[in-house]
């Protein structure tokens, strides 16, 4: 159902832009066959890339993925600008500003303006996506953590290693981690984009370095870990020295407890159901600090009701491209940033990588630096 809806939207948007271009620009009408063939090839580039990538990953499939991603960005902004031009055209016709004599000129310049504005936006969004930032949060947890008074956590979600996020991006991530000098590194799911071919071809995760992570390197699954087959994705990640918490609890120095959940889509995609949080928390001492890792930020009240002090999530990309962030804000109680419910802190990251177009408009690629101060008193001396 989901893919059917997505395909209908994608097909309708492409058809709308295709017909608008044909009816607006005389050059396109005079070379109709070339125009329709070229448009169809561009429209199906991303789909073709995914099909080819699933069978044999290569530089060619990488190029198709990149080109198809940019086309998807154009589809979004081209549709928005052309739809606005239709609204303006209707208003002008109703008020006498447009008539049969000048309507064709209006259509032509609307389409050309759409091409220009979309191109400028996409170029700016591409440059923005190449410039990740460190987003810092300072929170206090009123619990005792032994000799540890403060811990620096670097949390990275949605790297999406694959055809688009490759060696250079992985090296950049490692350099950023080295600069912030975290005590603990947490990967919040969607480490890989999907098909493992592009990842294995150049061993992309082999370029990821965790400098001096004295409390370790842990991860959870995201929905994309299951798209390319969890039986291939998870062992590859774990073979790089990254421990994936699959409905597991680990205790760090100071009694700090990490609770890592399987992604909520694990059952839908792979048939493996995850434990209920209440059941998972049976193995947790809630008198000590509890940090929950859950890729998708649904049902936030569940963490607050089970004694979690901090939940870290990703998945939303903060919409990645405006105005999609307006949609994610309607879907999620917290689609990006920070929220506190009772004594529970929530942070949702916009992610380091991207899905589809390497374009970010109205969002930034980021890693989180979460500085936690433990302010509780030692129960033995209270």
Whole-angstrom Cα distance, residue 139 to residue 137?
6
User: In 86-194, at which residue ranges do the beta strands (DSSP E only) sit?
Assistant: 133-141, 150-156, 184-187
Helix (H) and strand (E) counts in the chain? 14, 12
Answer yes or no: pTM beyond 0.75. yes
Which residues make Cβ contacts (< 8 Å) with residue 300, sequence separation at least 6?
A: 311, 333, 334, 339, 341, 346
Whole-angstrom Cα distance, residue 136 to residue 371?
7
Whole-angstrom Cα distance, residue 376 to residue 280?
24
For 351-379, the pLDDT digits (tens) are 999 999 999 999 999 999 999 999 988 77
pLDDT > 70 fraction of the chain, expressed in percent and rounded = 99
Residue 366 is predicted with a pLDDT of 98
Where the chain has pLDDT below 50, the residues are: none
For 130-174, the pLDDT digits (tens) are 999 999 999 999 999 989 999 999 999 999 999 999 999 999 999
Could you say which DSSP state residue 307 is in?
Answer: T
- Fold entry, domain 133-381: Purple Acid Phosphatase; chain A, domain 2 (3.60.21)
Domain boundaries in the chain?
2-129, 133-381
């Amino acid at each position: 159902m989901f893919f059917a809806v997505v395909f209908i939207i994608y097909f309708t948007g492409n058809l709308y832009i295709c017909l608008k271009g044909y009816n607006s620009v005389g050059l396109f009408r005079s070379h109709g066959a070339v125009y329709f063939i070229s448009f169809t090839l561009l429209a199906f580039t991303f789909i073709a890339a995914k099909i080819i990538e699933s069978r044999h990953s290569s530089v060619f499939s990488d190029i198709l993925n990149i080109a198809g991603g940019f086309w998807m960005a154009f589809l979004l902004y081209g549709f928005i600008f052309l739809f606005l031009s239709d609204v303006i055209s209707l208003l002008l016709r109703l008020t006498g500003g447009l008539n049969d004599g000048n309507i064709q000129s209006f259509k032509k310049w609307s389409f050309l303006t759409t091409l220009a504005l979309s191109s400028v936006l996409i170029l700016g969004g591409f440059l923005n996506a190449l410039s990740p930032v460190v987003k810092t949060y300072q929170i206090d947890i009123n619990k005792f953590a032994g000799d540890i008074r403060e811990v620096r956590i670097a949390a990275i979600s949605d790297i999406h290693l694959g055809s688009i996020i490759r060696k250079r991006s992985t090296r950049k991530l490692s350099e950023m981690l080295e600069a912030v000098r975290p005590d603990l590194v947490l990967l919040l799911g969607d480490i890989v984009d999907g098909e493992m071919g592009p990842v294995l071809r150049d061993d992309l995760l082999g370029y990821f370095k965790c400098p001096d992570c004295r409390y370790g390197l842990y991860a959870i699954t995201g929905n994309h870990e299951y798209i390319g087959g969890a039986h291939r994705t998870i062992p590859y990640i774990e073979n790089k020295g990254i421990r994936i918490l699959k409905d597991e609890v680990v205790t760090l120095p100071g009694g700090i407890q990490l609770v890592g959940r399987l992604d909520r889509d694990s059952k839908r995609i792979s048939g493996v159901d995850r434990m209920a949080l209440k059941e998972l928390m049976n193995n947790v001492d809630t008198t000590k600090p509890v940090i929950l890792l859950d890729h998708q930020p649904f049902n936030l009240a569940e963490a607050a009701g089970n004694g979690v002090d901090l939940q870290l999530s990703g998945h939303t990309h903060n919409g990645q491209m405006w105005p999609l962030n307006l949609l994610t804000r309607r879907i999620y109680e917290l689609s990006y940033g920070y929220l506190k419910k009772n004594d529970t802190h929530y942070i949702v990251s916009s992610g380091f990588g991207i899905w589809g177009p390497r374009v970010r408009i109205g969002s930034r690629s980021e890693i989180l630096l979460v500085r936690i101060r433990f302010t509780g008193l030692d129960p033995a001396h209270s």
